[in-house]
Chain A
């Protein structure tokens, strides 16, 4: 079992109503973290997190990174104590 910190910004923060939380995972997999979040926060979280066409993490208009700034995909492994940031963003203007 490992513990990760999930940080939410923008639309993720609106859905979760919190800015961060600690989550325990049985297996150190991003897939398990995504499953826990979709179960806990429902359809809108699932729509943001999962691309229905690929069943991988959604990449369109979103960015999920670890503490080194590396984008995470569904089959990535997470380290104990890792921070995962869930972001929605387009730059410019």
Chain B
């Protein structure tokens, strides 16, 4: 197994083509694992403390060995960079056709450094790579940018597929995402802000080459077996029509929703907690990539007769809102009409901005207004005019999306890096502490699900390498009360009981390792969630990985591969000065009792420290500091990483006189408040 690596320095205009050697796949699997290593190597030569918006930051796109080979597990491309909003490790996944089209062009990884003197886009046409002027694209939304590039570059030697940023990325908004083919956002961590800081508007790719498979017959047999397994999985049929939207009703019954900046745990709007979405708006299901046996994506079109509010959006068509778009729109900001929720998803995608972080910023300021903690005059200072800040007012909300995306007023400037940094800056500006109303976990990242009754979920938000996040650890065992999985993983059902702390830190550690494998294979998480034991990444998916790469492993060795990748992401953050005290969550989740639902009264603080201790124990890290130990890193064959950490005084129990990097975590550069 070898991979193609494209390196582009936008400052000098230099383009280099390299090979990723087999040994790197042996050590880092592929996909996110190799992305992480490329970033680690970069910051051995560049200052890891650099401003994420500076030319020293690195922007990596990578795709794993199982993407686009016909496995049927879906495709995910991964972006990796230093996050401009959280100031720590940042990465983000996205599906669609762009990832495997990159492989068909001959590359698996694209590394961009430096900064172009003017807006550019990168055009990759098989092995021919060109840095092109993007002045005509600057100022355009993601959908229009994609359509213009498709027109411009045509359908030969293949259709054109793109990654692009919208206005939020252009304005270096910290919570800006990167959008694939105009409609699938890599939302988390602020990759759009990094692209904007490099004057990189888009990457367009056309490729008609193939992908080398070590054992094609073995892969075909595996793929056929997987298809038959999925065909026999009845739950997959429900998932096909709704995608993750089925979770709305489920969370309503287990108290897992998030309402009005998490002042509640249950949706209020009858319409948005019903299945009317499927009845009224769903037009057809479709695959996000052509390498997926589920096809959970779907298209809507608003006719105008569906509701009174729908009349405002006649003709609008887009992807159906996923659960988290619904949780941010219908939940965090209390939008009560499906057409308006869908519109929220469409505009955040088009401006290219993460609707998790943004909805918590908007929810925060709406809650201050609701509680009369800010006056009409304060509101005018923030927005330059009166603003209703009514919950669920889509016209108001759309204006606020523009404020942040275009950076047009103090609200936009203050909240460009999300709710935590916005709340902190606003508290400092007003001389009042508003932090108890800010929803965040590690790094200041926001997330719109109820956290307090679910100890693994809560711990995931505190320890995830990219900041408060649901996709690194997964709350699969305790949130869904999977005592059967708990027995299979740990020999006891107790991890499936969310009312006690036992084995909840262990769940985070083990599932982080499994997710790291899936992300490194370059496939989708959802197939695995439909049958986690049968489709285990370390065994069943591992067979497909072996067929593609020729790299054979026992399941125990594959779990160590996943653990090694998690440890590399951790090591990067440790170099930045992150310690146990940074593995934390917000005051509302920690101390304010869950207000309603079957888990009324629960607070995260009841179990938080115990679960965190257990997580460090399972990780083999030092509980007092949260730092890695040399012993653990050596077990994983990471002596080189341990040496770097030791030189930075960022490894447990080794203090030396070299460079001491231990700083308070802070936002990249404070935007200040322009006159």
Docked complex Cα distance between A58 and B236 (Å): 13
Q: Which of A11, A62, A70, A91 sits near B251, CB closer than 8 Å?
A: A91
Q: Which residues of A contact B530 (CB under 8 A)?
A: 60-61, 90
Docked complex Cα distance between A93 and B242 (Å): 12
The stretch that binds A, out of B170-178, B476-484, B581-589, B641-649, is B476-484
Docked complex Cα distance between A47 and B235 (Å): 8
Q: Does B17 contact A (CB under 8 A)?
A: no
Chain B nearest Cβ from A43, distance in angstroms: 9
Q: Does A80 contact B (CB under 8 A)?
A: no
Q: Does B417 contact A (CB under 8 A)?
A: no
Q: Does B449 contact A (CB under 8 A)?
A: yes
- CB pair A63 B322 closer than 8 Å: no
- CB pair B471 A89 closer than 8 Å: no
In B530-577, the 8 Å CB interface with A consists of: 530-532, 534
Q: Which residues of B contact A73 (CB under 8 A)?
A: 483
Q: Mark A1-38, 1 if CB is under 8 A from B, else 0.
A: 00000000111111000000000000000000000000
The residue among A13, A56, A61 with the most chain B CB atoms within 10 A of its own CB is A61
Q: Does B325 contact A (CB under 8 A)?
A: yes
- Contact status of A93 and B484, CB under 8 A, knowing A48-B235, A61-B531: no
- CB pair B244 A10 closer than 8 Å: no
Docked complex Cα distance between A87 and B531 (Å): 16
In B310-328, the 8 Å CB interface with A consists of: 322-325
Residue of A nearest to B525 (CB): A92
The residue among B235, B471, B598 with the most chain A CB atoms within 10 A of its own CB is B235
- CB pair B244 A62 closer than 8 Å: no
- CB pair B238 A70 closer than 8 Å: no
Docked complex Cα distance between A75 and B399 (Å): 54
- CB pair A89 B484 closer than 8 Å: no
Q: Which residues of A contact B234 (CB under 8 A)?
A: 11, 44, 47-48, 58
Q: Which residues of A contact B256 (CB under 8 A)?
A: 91
Q: Does B247 contact A (CB under 8 A)?
A: yes
Q: Does A40 contact B (CB under 8 A)?
A: no
Q: Which of A10, A58, A69 sits near B242, CB closer than 8 Å?
A: A10
- CB pair B254 A90 closer than 8 Å: no
Docked complex Cα distance between A54 and B484 (Å): 10
Chain A nearest Cβ from B233, distance in angstroms: 7
- Contact status of A91 and B247, CB under 8 A, knowing A10-B242, A54-B484, A69-B253: yes
Residue of A nearest to B470 (CB): A92
The residue among A10, A54, A91 with the most chain B CB atoms within 10 A of its own CB is A91
- Contact status of A90 and B481, CB under 8 A, knowing A11-B238, A62-B235: no
- CB pair A11 B237 closer than 8 Å: yes
The interface on chain B, measured as residues whose beta carbon lies within 8 A of the other chain's beta carbons, has a size of 46
- CB pair B239 A90 closer than 8 Å: yes
Q: Mark B245-259, 1 if CB is under 8 A from A, else 0.
A: 011011101111000
- CB pair A69 B254 closer than 8 Å: yes
The residue among A10, A59, A87 with the most chain B CB atoms within 10 A of its own CB is A10
- CB pair A70 B481 closer than 8 Å: yes
Q: Which of A13, A61, A69 sits near B233, CB closer than 8 Å?
A: A61
Q: Which residues of B contact A88 (CB under 8 A)?
A: 235, 238-239, 246, 250
Residue of A nearest to B526 (CB): A90
Docked complex Cα distance between A35 and B55 (Å): 64
Q: Which of A10, A14, A59 sits near B484, CB closer than 8 Å?
A: A59
Q: Mark A50-88, 1 if CB is under 8 A from B, else 0.
A: 000010101111110101111101000000000001011
- CB pair B599 A69 closer than 8 Å: yes
Q: Which of A12, A60, A67, A93 sits near B531, CB closer than 8 Å?
A: A60
Residue of A nearest to B493 (CB): A73
- CB pair B253 A87 closer than 8 Å: yes
Docked complex Cα distance between A32 and B239 (Å): 27
Q: Does B243 contact A (CB under 8 A)?
A: yes
Docked complex Cα distance between A13 and B186 (Å): 32
Q: Does B209 contact A (CB under 8 A)?
A: no
- CB pair A87 B481 closer than 8 Å: no
Q: Which residues of B contact A67 (CB under 8 A)?
A: 598
- CB pair B471 A92 closer than 8 Å: yes
Docked complex Cα distance between A68 and B243 (Å): 26
Q: Which of B250, B485, B526, B599 sits near A87, CB closer than 8 Å?
A: B250
Q: Which of B237, B247, B482, B525 sits near A59, CB closer than 8 Å?
A: B482
Docked complex Cα distance between A59 and B480 (Å): 9
Residue of A nearest to B187 (CB): A93
Q: Does B654 contact A (CB under 8 A)?
A: no
Docked complex Cα distance between A61 and B528 (Å): 10
Chain A nearest Cβ from B103, distance in angstroms: 24
Q: Which residues of B contact A58 (CB under 8 A)?
A: 234-235
Q: Which residues of A contact B483 (CB under 8 A)?
A: 71, 73
- CB pair B598 A69 closer than 8 Å: yes
- CB pair A13 B247 closer than 8 Å: no
- CB pair B249 A90 closer than 8 Å: no
Q: Which of B253, B325, B481 sits near A85, CB closer than 8 Å?
A: B253
Chain B nearest Cβ from A70, distance in angstroms: 7
Q: Which residues of B contact A92 (CB under 8 A)?
A: 244, 247, 322-324, 470-471, 525-526
Chain B nearest Cβ from A51, distance in angstroms: 9
Docked complex Cα distance between A73 and B496 (Å): 12
Q: Does B378 contact A (CB under 8 A)?
A: no
Residue of A nearest to B248 (CB): A89
- CB pair A71 B323 closer than 8 Å: no
Q: Which residues of B contact A12 (CB under 8 A)?
A: 238
- Contact status of A69 and B482, CB under 8 A, knowing A48-B235, A87-B249: no
Q: Does B275 contact A (CB under 8 A)?
A: yes
- CB pair B251 A10 closer than 8 Å: no
- CB pair A65 B253 closer than 8 Å: yes
Chain A nearest Cβ from B230, distance in angstroms: 11
- CB pair B250 A9 closer than 8 Å: yes
Residue of B nearest to A87 (CB): B250
Chain B nearest Cβ from A92, distance in angstroms: 5
- CB pair A71 B238 closer than 8 Å: no
Residue of B nearest to A47 (CB): B234
In the complex, given contacts A60-B531, A90-B246, what are 5 additional A-B residue pairs having Cβ atoms less than 8 angstroms apart?
A: A63-B480, A69-B597, A71-B480, A91-B324, A92-B323
Task: Write 18 A-B pairs (CB below 8 A) sorted by A numbering.
Answer: A9-B275, A10-B238, A10-B246, A56-B484, A61-B239, A61-B530, A62-B235, A63-B480, A71-B483, A89-B244, A89-B249, A90-B239, A90-B247, A91-B470, A92-B322, A92-B324, A93-B243, A93-B322
